[in-house]
């Protein structure tokens, strides 16, 4: 009979020896990567914005200023992938490999979740001491604060946003001129404009039913019949939401009508946001209703026609603060991290963010030079001061994004009646309310 | 005879046509990726993914290379995949020698266990592996990924090799035993050389599979200095934005090494698949 014991031992030894000898060299540099902060001389910083985006540009400058004002401290910046941060944040922050400061997604399921697990540092004291609470408007602060259940809107500060975002209307000036359509200022004018294009055989709104744009338009329509109390009920669970109330009923009915009238193409059910953007940039649609995150790309890539943006005709629009700077509980250099956040909130950095095509939260509007950037920021400030930031429709419940995508695809396809769709999207929302004990 | 030929021809043409269609379908994504890798973002946005590039726009590839320090990522991938491939083959041979030739008691159940372990989704392994690696101080190190994948690949290798070695000609082994060869000698002097084609195929598969792994490396290789090529490609997918041209550039850079590796070893591959146990 063959003896296993010996062969297994040999196997284990051989494998171990091979593995060890092969990566002896590599484990050295992995140690120096994170171990450098032991003396408090390195600020490890992670974010996931592209280097040439508004945030990437402004933050690169902030790192330079930080190093200048903190002699002897080096910033060790690592650009991360969005998905990696999304999927691994709780694991990383629970280990000794946590960075000193990082960008993280705002929202209950992300920053809220981590704050509940005790992985983030409470920034309340810093926010009041350094005056961040004065720089940020109340609706921007909503996403910075989380209560003990991890729900945003009240409680302690766990993050600081540097930029804002909101949904607006991008339009193709050339197509508007050619059709003799003026920039609408009221909702009636807006529908009249859509009608004018549809009558000429042009589908006016570029749409993507497979991703977020459809639910944002749906939400915009509901918001036109809503008030702040309704938004607080829907987003922050401060009251009951009737899915068959006037807001959602109007939204579902109107959305369905717009498809029937040809304002929105029936083929858009399967489109992705990228397809929608490329179609608009390619000059195939006069109107695209989407977020400020497109702005930089529009500015860079639209060559063949003149374009502009205007606020959605109504008091509210989806929007909020951008992602947050958070300080992990295991950060080894919390004071340096606070200093860094403070630098990003300074006028110079905020102005740079605005001049690079982003939406700063504390910039000096007169310092913004480019006319289009100025328009973008002024519109945001207008929306923000009229208390118009209404957050996003997929925020209230985990997995709600997919529920909304599926529901609105049915509206576009016409495979279900508006009332049926409302029932469908009400169910997961109410289930979640029961889960969190409201 | 003439009639025979005309009778045969339509069938041949149909096969040819089917193969051509299949080849086009297979190559289409690569063509699209290559087309877009050499386009500027503005060209992509105005012309869409199918338009031809106006010129050779190399900035996307260069920018991506610099942005993620691609040379380092290549080296990491090469190191991890190489070590895993070799270690997993050695481990599989040793296991399979015991199970396939040694005829250990209960080997069927051991193999079933390996097979079940093989079908476990990686998502189920993540948390246990995370806690283990944190306990032993291997979190965020290449060694952790190497150990994990050596075991995962060896599980499949053991399963496959055990059944191959189970058919190993007894005569040869008996002859060697009569000549007084030790068990170790029999393994390295007889079993391994004879099954070399199978082992090379395993080696190549392990290398390519490990090279393409995304999920576990993403979880375990946190520092940018440790990341592999597929994880580095993930940097380009933003929250709401994707950079189609740079993604194509990076995808092209990402598949070139695997394709090159395959081309170099494809002779071994085809030989390994067709070779039988004895002639």
Given a cut of 80, is residue B200 above it in pLDDT? yes
CB A45 within 8 A of CB A340: yes
Q: How do residues A207-264 score in pLDDT, each as one tens digit?
A: 999 999 999 999 999 999 999 999 999 998 888 999 999 999 999 999 999 999 999 9
Return the DSSP state at B133: H
> Which comes out higher in pLDDT, residue B104 or A376?
A376
Separation between Cα atoms, residue B244 and residue B214, nearest integer Å = 20
Domain residue ranges in chain B: 2-37, 68-274
- The predicted model gives A256-275 an average pLDDT of 93
pLDDT at A11: 43
User: What's A38-163+322-363's CATH class?
Assistant: alpha beta
Cα–Cα nearest to A29, from B80, B140, B19: B140
Interface test with A, best of B45, B230, B250 (most A CBs within 10 A): B45
- The residues in A 276-305 lying below 8 A from B, measured between CB atoms, are 277-278, 281-283, 291, 293-294, 297, 300-304
Inter-chain CB proximity A33 and B223 less than 8 Å? yes
Given a cut of 90, is residue B234 above it in pLDDT? no
Nearest to A282 among B45, B83, B147 (CB): B45
pLDDT at B6: 53
Q: How do residues A131-157 score in pLDDT, each as one tens digit?
A: 999 999 888 999 999 999 889 989 999
Q: What is the DSSP string of B148-214?
A: HHHHHHHHHHHHHHHHHHHTS-HHHHHHHHHTT--HHHHIIIIIHHHTHHHHHHHHHHHHHHHHH--
Kind plus residue range of the DSSP H or E element containing B13: helix B2-37
Out of 3.40.50.720, 1.10.1200.10, 3.40.718.10, 1.10.3720.10, select the CATH number for domain B68-274: 1.10.3720.10
The alpha-carbon gap from A46 to the nearest alpha carbon of chain B, in Å, equals: 10
- First-residue to last-residue Cα distance in chain B: 37
- The predicted model gives A84-105 an average pLDDT of 92
* Secondary structure (H, E, C), chain A: CCCHHHHHHHHHHHHHHHHHHHHHHHHHHHHHHHHHHHHCCEEEEEECCCCCCHHHHHHHHHHHHHHHHCCCCEEEEEECCHHHHHHHHHHHHCCCCCCCEEEECCCHHHHHHHHHCCCECCCHHHHHHCCHHHHCCHHHHCCCEECCCCCECCCEECCEECEEEEEEEEEEHHHHHHHCCCCCCCHHHHHHHHHHHHHCCCCCEECCCCCHHHHHHHHHHHHCCCCHHHHHHHHHCCCCCCCCCHHHHHHHHHHHHHHHCCCECHHHHHCCHHHHHHHHHCCCCCEEEEEHHHHHHHHHHCCCCCEEEECCCCCCECEEECCEEECECCCCCHHHHHHHHHHHCCHHHHHHHHHCCCCECCCCHHHCCCHHHHHHHHHHHHHHHCCCECCCCCCCCCCHHHHHHHHHHHHHHCCCCHHHHHHHHHHHHHHHHHHCCC
B163 lies within 8 A of chain A by CB: no
Predicted confidence band at A37 (pLDDT cuts at 50, 70, 90)?
very low
ipTM score above 0.85: no
Inter-chain CB proximity A14 and B90 less than 8 Å? yes
- CATH dotted code for A166-320+390-435: 3.40.190.10
- The residues in A 212-241 lying below 8 A from B, measured between CB atoms, are 212
Inter-chain CB proximity B67 and A301 less than 8 Å? no
Inter-chain CB proximity A88 and B44 less than 8 Å? no
* Secondary structure (H, E, C), A34-103: HHHHHHCCEEEEEECCCCCCHHHHHHHHHHHHHHHHCCCCEEEEEECCHHHHHHHHHHHHCCCCCCCEEE
Q: What residue ranges of chain A are covered by domains with CATH 3.40.190.10? A: 38-163+322-363, 166-320+390-435
- The residues in B 1-40 lying below 8 A from A, measured between CB atoms, are none
Percent of chain A with pLDDT over 70: 91
Interface test with B, best of A28, A31, A33 (most B CBs within 10 A): A33
The alpha-carbon gap from A188 to the nearest alpha carbon of chain B, in Å, equals: 31
Given a cut of 80, is residue B237 above it in pLDDT? no
- The predicted model gives A419-432 an average pLDDT of 93
CB A130 within 8 A of CB A362: no
Strand A160-161 vs strand A74-79: parallel, antiparallel, or unpaired?
Answer: unpaired
- First-residue to last-residue Cα distance in chain A: 67
């Amino acid at each position: 009979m063959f003896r296993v014991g010996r062969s297994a031992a040999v196997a284990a030894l051989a494998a171990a020896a091979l593995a060890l000898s092969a990566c002896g060299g590599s484990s050295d540099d992995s140690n120096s990567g994170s171990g450098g902060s032991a003396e408090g001389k390195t600020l490890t910083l992670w974010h996931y914005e592209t280097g040439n985006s508004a945030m990437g540009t402004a933050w690169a400058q902030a790192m330079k200023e930080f190093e200048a004002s903190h002699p002897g401290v080096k910033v060790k910046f690592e650009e991360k992938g969005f998905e990696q941060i999304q999927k691994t944040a709780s694991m990383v922050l629970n280990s000794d490999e946590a960075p000193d400061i990082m960008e993280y997604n705002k929202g209950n399921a992300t920053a809220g979740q981590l704050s509940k697990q005790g992985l983030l540092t409470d920034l309340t004291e810093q926010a009041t001491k350094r005056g961040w609470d004065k720089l940020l408007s109340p609706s921007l602060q909503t996403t910075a604060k989380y209560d003990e259940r991890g729900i945003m809107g009240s409680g302690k500060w766990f993050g600081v946003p540097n930029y804002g975002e909101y949904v607006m209307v991008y339009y193709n000036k050339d197509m508007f001129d050619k059709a003799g359509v003026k920039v609408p200022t009221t909702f009636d004018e807006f529908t009249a404009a859509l009608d004018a294009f549809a009558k000429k055989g042009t589908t006016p709104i570029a749409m993507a039913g497979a991703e977020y744009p459809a639910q944002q338009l749906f939400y915009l329509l509901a918001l036109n019949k809503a008030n702040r109390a309704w938004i607080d009920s829907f987003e922050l669970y401060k009251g009951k939401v009737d899915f068959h109330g006037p807001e959602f009923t109007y939204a579902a009915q109107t959305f369905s009508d717009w498809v029937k009238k040809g304002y929105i193409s029936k083929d858009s059910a399967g489109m992705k946001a990228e397809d929608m953007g490329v179609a608009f940039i390619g000059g195939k649609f006069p109107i695209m209703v989407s977020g400020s995150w497109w702005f930089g790309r529009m500015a860079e890539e639209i060559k063949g026609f003149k374009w502009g943006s205007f606020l959605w005709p109504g008091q509210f629009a989806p929007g909020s603060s951008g992602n947050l700077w958070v300080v992990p509980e295991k950060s080894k250099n919390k004071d340096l991290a606070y200093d860094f956040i403070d630098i990003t909130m300074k006028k110079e950095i905020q102005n740079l963010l605005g001049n690079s095509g982003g939406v700063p939260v504390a910039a000096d509007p007169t310092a913004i030079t480019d006319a289009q950037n100025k328009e973008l920021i002024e519109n945001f400030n207008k929306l923000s001061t009229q208390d118009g930031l209404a957050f996003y429709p997929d925020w209230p419940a985990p997995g709600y994004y997919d529920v909304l995508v599926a529901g609105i695809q049915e509206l576009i396809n016409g495979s279900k009646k508006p009332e049926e769709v409302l029932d469908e999207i009400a169910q997961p929302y109410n289930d979640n309310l029961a889960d969190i004990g409201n | 005879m003439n009639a025979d030929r005309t009778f045969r021809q339509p069938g041949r043409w149909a096969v040819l046509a089917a193969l051509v269609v299949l080849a086009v379908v297979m190559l289409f994504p690569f063509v699209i990726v290559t087309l877009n890798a050499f386009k500027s973002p503005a060209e992509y946005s105005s012309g869409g993914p199918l338009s031809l590039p106006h010129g050779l726009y190399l900035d996307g590839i260069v920018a991506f290379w610099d942005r993620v320090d691609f040379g380092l990522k290549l080296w990491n991938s090469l190191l991890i995949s190489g070590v895993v491939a070799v270690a997993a083959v050695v481990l599989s041979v040793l296991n399979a020698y015991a199970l396939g030739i040694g005829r250990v008691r209960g080997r069927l159940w051991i193999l079933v266990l390996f097979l079940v372990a093989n079908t476990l989704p990686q998502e189920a392994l993540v948390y246990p592996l995370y806690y283990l690696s944190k306990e032993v101080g291997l979190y965020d190190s290449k060694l952790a990924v190497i150990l994990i994948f050596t075991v995962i690949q060896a599980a499949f290798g053991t399963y496959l090799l055990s059944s191959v070695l189970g058919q190993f000609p007894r005569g040869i082994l008996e002859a060697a035993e009569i000549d007084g060869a030790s068990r170790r000698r029999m393994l390295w002097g007889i079993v391994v050389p004879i099954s070399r084609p199978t082992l090379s195929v395993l080696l190549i598969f392990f290398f390519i599979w490990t090279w393409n792994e995304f999920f576990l490396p993403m979880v375990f290789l946190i520092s940018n200095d440790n990341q592999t090529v597929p994880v580095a490609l993930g940097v380009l997918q933003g929250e709401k934005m994707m950079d189609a041209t740079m993604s194509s550039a990076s995808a092209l850079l990402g598949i070139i090494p695997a394709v090159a590796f395959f081309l170099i070893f494809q002779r071994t591959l085809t030989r390994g698949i067709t070779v039988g146990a004895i002639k």
